[in-house]
Amino acid sequence: MHGQIKIPVPPRKVVPSRRTGTSQRMRDMIFAGMAPSISILLTSPIDVVKARMQVHGEGIKVSFQRTAFGELRELFQKEGLSGCYRGLGISIMREASLNVMRLGLYDPIMSLMHTGYYDMASTKETGLPPLYKRLLCGSICGIMGSVASSPMELIKCRMQCGGESAAAGHKYKYTSAYDACTKIIRSEGVKGLWNGAEVFVMRNAIGSAANLSTFSAFKAYFLNFREDSVLVDVAAGLASGFVTTCVMCPLDMIKTRLQNQPVDELTGKGRLYRHGGDAVAKIVKSEGTFALYKGFSSLFVRTGPHYVLTFAIYGLLKRWASSKDNSDGDVGTTVNHYY
């Protein structure tokens, strides 16, 4: 109408959109499986050393505990480079199957639990989710990943502890992961592939809660000072790796003992330990309380670089895919946040 005055409406501030389509979530899950599978190529020798240290002196109090360096030197001298990478193939399968769910499902589940959350970099806009949500989400993802990867973890553990230089109370002689799988099924049944699974699940429920919650917290803190980058992922990954090692070491040690123990072919039950609680009682009685922290140094030397590489590679892959989408003009399914 003539003479009407139009009042301008200020535009709403729009935060740059992110694709939230199923295809991108699936791609991120693939990246979550790829990243640790690549990093294990570098950290596998330390993983073997950690397993060897955890079974050293099983059932007796030893006058000395091998250092991580001493164990690595003994391993290389007696078994060569192939011994340092013992069980590498099954280790890669274990990392992929575990982290597709443990790391790959963290962002989708957290986005359902916390309004506005998209991924760990989005905390710069939405704020860090409460600690209880981060712990709960990390535990859920750790449990799902553990159930899926437990058979690979069992085979990996037995193969790593079965070499010539291993000072284990019991050694399994498997020529390959396939040989291990067939022999376990033949002597212990299919359910034998999940021996020690209860402690492995508990280990990763607690470990993933600590790892993913602290990584997201450290990353949110570092994002206050600089943009999302490899350096941010490296710093947050190393810090979270130390916290995770402190929390996870006793459970990791018990898991190794349970999975590497001899099994009765008739009952399919372990001959040394009945369950996790029994293992703790016997280890403390025969080897002392500090035996639960056997392999702490090698566990941190393994988990520290492993988490650094995993989160750095995962972040790189996600940022590369995001930049490729933007350069291709791919908008996909988007969500806009208005403030």
Q: What is the structure's pLDDT at 206?
A: 94
Token pair belonging to 28: 């991120």
90-146 pLDDT per residue, tens: 999 999 999 999 999 999 999 999 988 888 887 777 778 999 999 999 999 999 999
23-66 pLDDT per residue, tens: 888 999 999 999 999 999 999 998 998 888 888 766 655 555 66
**Phi, then psi, of 17 in degrees rounded to 5:** -75, 155
- C-alpha closest to that of 252 among 2, 59, 55: 55
CB 226 within 8 A of CB 232: yes
CB 228 within 8 A of CB 319: yes
Q: What is the structure's pLDDT at 68?
A: 75
Proportion of the chain above pLDDT 70, given as a percent = 86
The pLDDT mean for the chain works out to 84
Instruction: Check pLDDT > 50 for residue 12.
Output: no
CB 283 within 8 A of CB 257: yes
Average pLDDT over residues 178-203: 92
**Phi, then psi, of 16 in degrees rounded to 5:** -45, 135
137-171 pLDDT per residue, tens: 999 999 999 999 999 999 999 999 887 777 666 78
- DSSP label of 67: -
Q: What is the structure's pLDDT at 16?
A: 41
β-pairing verdict for 14-19 and 334-338:
antiparallel
Tell me the whole-structure pTM to 2 decimals: 0.79
> Which pLDDT band holds residue 233 (cuts at 50, 70, 90)?
very high
